[in-house]
């Protein structure tokens, strides 16, 4: 019969005891095959499966959110309002020293999975071994940290941000459930569980402290559009020439696109022919005297305009370039605050009921105060309501009257353009957000109730909103406000007028 000293040592014998874990402290009086050991086994197997399942769910969600953070993609199932994942994931609390918090969560749950899957049956064994103690010490510490982090980030969403991310909440729920389960049922002594709690809480408190001391990052995203390709380019990757995007026309010259001469021949009488021939005499004499001057004039005339926001001097032909949408807008065809002849013109897409748009209005007001008549803004309301915006999938209650507010604003601009800036500012600065009835009453005060009702009876405002939504769609929809310049787009809340001024000057 083989002696006991020739028997192979168990796999966990090489491991030291887990910290503060006296062997058998939790299972005092339990021996292999005893009823107590069988009961412990029946507890550890479900706990093990629960921990693995929750960790898999949390790793999947946090991995997805990490991908969203690194690629700036749109989150599925979040369209704004209370459940606004973009707002949460773009806040200062979504990163730690530049690293997405979702990536840290992924690492934490991967460590839990690795510890559980590596130990397998030893983690659910009724025998108190160092390997089992180490496994549940790691899992319990990570679970406490995950649970505390879940409370921290849920509190931030509710009290600091005022918006919720369902994906984030699902991850936090996994952490809280795992924390409670391991503290209640893991095969560790109360002393070890206490130290696991201390270490886990310290990890989360360190994260919260660093986040609180880190200066907040901008709440907006800067996107640079590719430069339009030249007409001489023959590459397949060339950006097509920008499309001229006209406002909806109703037969009124102020809205209809300018007519283009077709070049058709029209018969002329003799007087007209002699007048046209004599008109060429000064030009012919100038060419005879100084041909170089004519060549220089041709060169200047053919030169391309310098890169900038606008490329035509007259208000009726002033074009505003939106490279991000690959379109051009005539400045005099759209609702505008300022003059179409202003030195700087940019486009704002917004919703009158959007809190981020209302906060950005303060920065825009600062820019207008700084530049005066040298700056103008094409203000294109894009209501976040499904009633007039088919890009909205889930409408929040706060946006239900946004279509009406936009219609009243466009109606005021059409009736009395000089009254529009006042009404526009009132809609964005009045606290609380004006109701549709209050906005209509205010509009009637400015332009007259009769004129307002007459304009609202027409489809003009609805057609403008539809055009605004088309532009919004070309800019990949997503969060508002969007401040669109020649080749730069600011998406999200902008609170500093200096940010806008720097882009204008550039």
Alpha-carbon distance of 338 to 365, in angstroms, equals 12
Q: Does pTM surpass 0.75?
A: no
Q: Whole-angstrom Cα distance, residue 153 to residue 179?
A: 15
Tell me the residue range of the domain where 388 lies: 319-505
Report if residue 269 sits inside a domain: no
pLDDT in tens, 229-282: 433 333 344 556 677 777 886 434 332 322 333 333 333 444 444 444 444 455
Judge whether 92 and 211 are in contact, CB under 8 Å. yes
Low pLDDT (below 50) residues in the chain? 1-13, 20-31, 228-237, 250-280, 283, 285, 287-313
Q: Name the 3-class secondary structure at 347.
A: strand
DSSP secondary structure, 478-496, as one string: -SS-EEE-SSEEEEE----
CATH number at residue 445: 3.40.30.10
**Helical pair 281-289 and 270-279, crossing angle rounded to 10 deg:** 20
Distances (CA, A) of 99 to 66, 87, 135, 201, 211: 9, 17, 28, 20, 11
Total number of domains constituting the chain: 2
Tokens of residue 146, six digits: 């995950």
pLDDT at 220: 74
**Residue-level pLDDT at 401:** 96
Q: Are residue 206 and residue 335 in the same domain, yes or no?
A: no
Residue 472 lies in a domain: yes
Query: For 86, what's the count of Cα atoms within 13 Å in the CB-facing half-sphere?
Result: 23
Residue 299: inside a domain? no
Same-domain pairing of 48 and 159: yes
Q: What are phi and psi of 22, to 5 degrees?
A: -75, 130
Residues 58 and 187 grouped into a single domain = yes
Please check whether residue 4 lies inside any domain of the structure: no
The DSSP code sequence of 10-45 is PGGGGSPPPTT--TTSTTTT--TTSHHHHHHHHHHH
Question: Which residues does 109 contact at the CB level (< 8 Å), separation at least 6?
Answer: 55, 58, 59, 62, 142, 146, 174
- Kindly state whether residue 430 falls inside one of the protein's structural domains: yes
Residues 341 and 198 placed together within one structural domain of the fold: no
205 lies in the same domain as 342 = no
At which of 217, 241, 258 does a domain end? 217
Give the whole-angstrom CA distance, residue 78 versus residue 63.
Answer: 17
**CA gap 506, 504 in Å, rounded:** 5
Q: Are strands 319-322 and 95-96 parallel, antiparallel or unpaired?
A: unpaired
- For residues 324 and 223, is the Cβ–Cβ distance under 8 A? yes
CB atoms under 10 Å from CB of 353, counted, come to 26
Whether 209 and 327 map to the same domain: the answer is: no
Among 168, 197, 217, which residue terminates a domain?
A: 217
CA distances from 462 to 39, 74, 109, 377 (A): 70, 28, 50, 21
Mark whether 329 and 213 lie in a shared domain: no
Among candidate residues 338, 340, 339, the one with its CA nearest the CA of residue 330:
340
Tell me what pLDDT residue 8 has: 44
pLDDT at 300: 32
For residue 313, being part of any structural domain is answered with no
The CATH number covering residue 75 comes to: 1.20.1440.130
Q: Is residue 280 assigned to a domain?
A: no
- Is 185 in the same domain as 329? no
Q: Buried (b) or exposed (e) across 294-318, using 16+ Cβ within 10 A?
A: eeeeeeeeeeeeeeebbbeeeeeeb
What Rg, from alpha-carbon coordinates, does the chain have? 34
Does the residue 282 lie in any domain?
A: no
Residue with tokens 């982090």: 149
Work out the angle between the directed axes of helices 35-71 and 101-119 (0-180°, nearest 10).
150
Question: Which tens digit of pLDDT belongs to each residue from 119-170?
Answer: 988 888 888 888 999 999 999 999 999 999 999 999 999 999 888 999 999 9
Decide: helix, strand or coil at residue 336.
strand
What integer pLDDT is reported at residue 23 of this predicted model?
Answer: 42
- Gap between the Cα atoms of 144 and 142, Å rounded: 6
- Residue-level pLDDT at 314: 54
Residue where one domain finishes, among candidates 166, 184, 217: 217
């Amino acid at each position: 019969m083989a002696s006991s000293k020739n028997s192979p040592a168990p796999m966990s014998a090489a491991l030291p005891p887990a910290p503060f874990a006296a062997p058998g402290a939790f299972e005092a009086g339990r021996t292999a095959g005893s009823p107590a050991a069988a009961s412990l086994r029946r507890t550890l197997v479900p706990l093990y499966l629960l921990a693995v399942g929750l960790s898999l769910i949390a790793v999947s969600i946090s991995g997805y959110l990490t991908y969203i953070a690194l690629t700036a993609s749109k989150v599925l199932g979040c369209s704004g309002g209370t459940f606004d994942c973009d707002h949460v994931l773009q806040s200062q609390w979504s990163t730690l020293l530049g690293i997405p918090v979702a990536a840290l969560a992924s690492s934490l749950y991967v460590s839990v999975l690795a510890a559980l899957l590596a130990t397998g049956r030893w983690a659910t064994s009724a025998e108190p071994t160092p390997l089992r103690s180490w496994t549940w010490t790691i899992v319990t510490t990570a679970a406490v940290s995950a649970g505390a982090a879940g409370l921290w980030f849920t509190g931030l969403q509710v009290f600091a941000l005022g918006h919720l991310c369902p994906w984030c909440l699902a991850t936090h729920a996994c952490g809280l459930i795992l924390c409670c389960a391991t503290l209640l049922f893991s095969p560790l002594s109360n002393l070890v569980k206490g130290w696991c709690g201390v270490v886990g809480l310290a990890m989360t408190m360190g994260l919260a402290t660093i986040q609180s001391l880190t200066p907040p990052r901008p709440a907006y995203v800067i996107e640079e559009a590719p430069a339009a390709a030249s007409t001489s380019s023959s590459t397949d990757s060339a950006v097509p020439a920008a499309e001229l995007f006209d406002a909806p026309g109703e037969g009124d010259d102020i809205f209809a696109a300018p007519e283009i001469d077709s070049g058709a021949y029209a018969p002329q009488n003799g007087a007209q022919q002699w007048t046209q021939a004599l008109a060429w005499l000064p030009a012919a004499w100038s060419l005879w005297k100084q041909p170089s001057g004519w060549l220089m004039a041709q060169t200047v005339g053919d030169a391309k305009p310098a890169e900038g926001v606008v490329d035509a001097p007259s208000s009726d032909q002033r074009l505003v370039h939106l490279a991000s949408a690959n379109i051009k807008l005539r400045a005099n065809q759209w609702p505008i605050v300022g003059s179409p002849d202003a030195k700087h013109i940019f486009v704002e897409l917004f919703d009158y009921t959007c809190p981020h748009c209302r906060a950005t209005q303060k920065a825009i007001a600062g820019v207008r105060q700084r530049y005066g008549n040298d700056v103008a803004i094409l203000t294109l309301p894009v209501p976040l309501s499904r009633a007039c915006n088919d890009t909205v999938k889930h409408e929040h209650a706060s946006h239900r009257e946004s279509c009406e507010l936009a219609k009243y604003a466009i109606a005021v601009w059409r009736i009395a353009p000089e009254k529009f800036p006042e009404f526009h500012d009132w809609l964005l600065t009045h606290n609380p957000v004006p109701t549709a009835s209050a906005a209509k009453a205010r509009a009637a005060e400015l332009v007259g109730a009769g004129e307002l009702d007459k304009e609202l009876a027409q489809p003009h405002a609805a057609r403008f909103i539809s055009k605004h939504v088309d532009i919004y769609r070309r800019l990949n929809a997503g969060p508002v406000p969007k401040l669109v310049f020649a080749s730069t787009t600011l998406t999200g809340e902008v609170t500093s007028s200096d940010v806008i001024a720097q882009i204008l000057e550039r």
